[in-house]
Amino acid sequence: MKPLMLHGHERAITQIKYNREGDLLFSSAKDHCPNVWYSLNGERLGNFIGHIGAVWCLDINWESTKFMSGAADNTLKLWDCSNGVEIGNINTKSTVRTCVFSYSGNLAAYSTDTQRKQICEINVIDCRISDSFGSEPILCIPVPESKVTALFWGPLDEMVVTGHENGKITQWDMRTGKQLNQIDGHSGSINDMQPSKEGMMFITASSDHTSKLFDTEQLLNLKTYVTERPVNSASISPILDHVVLGGGQEASVVTTTSTRVGKFDARFYHMVFEEEFGRVKGHFGPINSLAFHPDGRSYASGGEDGYVRVHYFDPSYFEFTFDC
Amino acid sequence: MPVADEVKSSWADEVEEVVEDIPQSNEVFENGFKIVTEYRRNEDDKKEKIVRTYKIEKRCVSKPIALRKTWAKYGVAAGDKPGPNPANTVVGEDVFMQFITSKEEQDKPDEDVLDKLKSMADKTVKCRTCNGDHWTLKCPFKDTGYIPNKAPATPATEEKRPTQVEDKTKSKYIAPGLREGGGKRGETMSRRHDDSSAAAIRVSNLSESTQEADLEELVKPFGDYNKLFLAKDKSTGLCKGFAYIHFKSRSAAAAAIATLNGHGYDHLILNADWSKPQHNN
């Protein structure tokens, strides 16, 4: 497969995401402008200019009309996806670490960092009221123990599941703002959580060198994928029983080792047998974010090297059968 | 406005435009392919022609996707032509998914172990109980309690005991200071260095053009010398401005210092002094 290398960022990629249909690919980096690309040919549709800090998170709503990005300049911005115009801005008390639209796209949840005496908060806003972008959130949950590093909406927008810096995974009831359940998911920071296509399972990626598959309802640990490097991102294939893990060494120790030892490959595991069956090389730095195309026939990865690589799978990937 | 047009491009671009007579890049649409031809100069200042061929495909997609495809580009991409901008979108080198089958992984270490055992078998298989050429595990005397060689050995060890005491001095580790001839002091590198450098002088502020022959001429009148070292720059071969001379006698060295210190040589005033011992860690 010939990957498309999208070079629209000056600095390390922080997150990439496809829209629901998968025709658009969004990428954010530590530079200040998130980009949007046509995933089919890698053509850049545009970028969103307005942030003045590293952009840590992004999300796109169900209809691909609104795009949301949270940054280290203490703002969460809402954009019109069709023309790149800023249509909303929320000033937060600290860096916005995660932001996710609910499935309906009516609500959005975002979390802020523990920073300068400011404790981490999970906030929920209603996107339908354009005025609420800028006013108080409709729900605010302070999280004093450990900051939220990953977040996604549970089924029917009834709850939000958060991953924390101390490895805990928590469910929050969105009606009451109460904590429903909490487990010790990992021993290291949770860097990423991505739900499966149906939303009934999710995969975590952690600095403790493992990635785990959990049941969304009860937070049961179903599977564990073990690697020898910190895992920065993981994604579940929507069509096959595959998961892809991306990671590598800490960015701080990369320069002291060659790319060969760096283990910057995307690693494909069988979801059920927990065994690795394939690797794809390419990045010069650790992979920070991974996403499967919603049709499962391609995937994209964004790395510390500032490149987004879009891979269309060869027929051999689909012909491959896992012998056990 | 003509003035604005001139100012628009930066001076660096202008220079390039003037110097290079490179044809403009062009795009041609030909039966389903877009062919982009670009010209540029490579590092060796040779003209390069880059031809990129894009296949234009038509796809049937759902309405919203088709609608999104018609959106005008915005942000920094606003000026881009339809189709990917080669500055941002690069088709990477072919990569392949390396398939790791679990079977291969399991087979490999097994083979290794077997190979190892085979090669070991060729060389030395020695039973720890009877010293025969079979594995200890397969020893015929295993579990019988009978040990062919060791049985008579038990009384022998008792006899040996007194001799062992004498042997103690031989077999045991002896500190270097307690060994035979350990009383005398060991030679050290620094001491030897001191001896030779006792009559060494350092002459500095020599001119760049000084050669070894010139220096030789300069120091010969004071007496014989062992070694003469003129510091030279590695790349240029020019004198670095100082030299060391190791005289045979200290008196000759003293005489040399007395004369050469303040001596005018090649329009420079020389400095001469005793060479200071090197301070190595």
Higher pLDDT, A246 or B152: A246
Interface list for A 179-238 with B (CB within 8 A): none
Least confident of A54-63, A299-308, B67-76: B67-76
CB atoms within 10 A of CB A296: 17
Put simply, whether B84 touches A (Cβ < 8 Å) is yes
Q: Is the pLDDT of residue B43 over 60?
A: yes
Summarize the confidence of residues B17-25 as an average pLDDT.
Answer: 62
Classify residue B199 by its DSSP letter.
T
Name the least confident of A216-225, B84-93, B131-140, B235-244.
B131-140
pLDDT confidence of residue B119: 61
What pLDDT, on the 0 to 100 scale, is given for residue B198?
A: 74
Strands (E), A185-282: 190-195, 201-206, 210-215, 221-226, 231-236, 242-247, 266-270, 276-280
pLDDT at B148 over 60: no
Query: B74 — contact with chain A (CB < 8 Å)?
Result: yes
Closest CA to A208 of A223, A224, A222: A224
**Whether residue A139 has pLDDT greater than 70:** yes
Write down the pLDDT at residue B111. Answer: 52
Q: Which of A151, A54, A155 is nearest to A108 (CA)?
A: A151
Amino acid A211: pLDDT? 93
Give the model's confidence band at A253: pLDDT under 50 very low, under 70 low, under 90 confident, else very high. low
ipTM above 0.90, yes or no: no
Instruction: Report the alpha-carbon distance of residue B138 to residue B127 in Å, rounded.
Output: 8
Shortest alpha-carbon distance between residue A218 and chain B (Å)? 32
The answer to whether B77 contacts chain A (CB < 8 Å) is yes
Determine how many CB atoms are found less than 10 A away from the CB of residue B20. Answer: 13
By the 8 A CB rule, do A41 and A65 touch? Answer: no
Instruction: Work out the minimum CA distance from B49 to partner chain A, whole angstroms.
Output: 22
Does residue B276 sit in helix, strand or coil? Answer: coil
* pLDDT above 80: residue B123: no
**A14-23, A242-251, B97-106: segment of lowest average pLDDT:** B97-106
Percent of chain A with pLDDT over 70: 93
Instruction: Nearest by CB to B68, from A47, A64, A316: name it.
Output: A64
Considering chain B, what is the average pLDDT of its residues?
A: 72
User: What average pLDDT score do residues B28-51 get?
Assistant: 78
> How far away is chain B from the Cα of A21, in angstroms, using its nearest Cα?
8
All residues of chain B having their beta carbon less than 8 Å from the beta carbon of residue A1 are: 94-97
Terminal-residue alpha carbon distance, chain B: 73
Residue-wise pLDDT tens digits, B210-232: 888 888 888 888 888 888 888 88
Using a CB–CB cutoff of 8 Å, tell me whether B60 touches chain A: no
**Beta strand residue intervals within A66-167, DSSP E:** 66-71, 75-80, 86-91, 96-101, 107-112, 120-126, 139-143, 148-153, 159-164
pLDDT digits (tens, 9 = 90+) for A121-133: 899 988 876 655 6
Q: Which residues pair with A88 in a beta bridge?
A: A78
| pLDDT for the residue B122 | 57
Average pLDDT value for residue range A234-251: 87
What is the SS3 assignment for A261? helix
pLDDT for residue B11 = 62
Mean of all residue pLDDT scores within chain A: 88
Distance CA A222, CA A214 (A): 5
Predicted structure pTM score: 0.64
Q: A235 in helix, strand or coil? A: strand
Cβ(A133)–Cβ(A145) below 8 Å: no
Q: Are B187 and B203 in contact (CB under 8 A)?
A: no
Quote the pLDDT of residue B281: 45
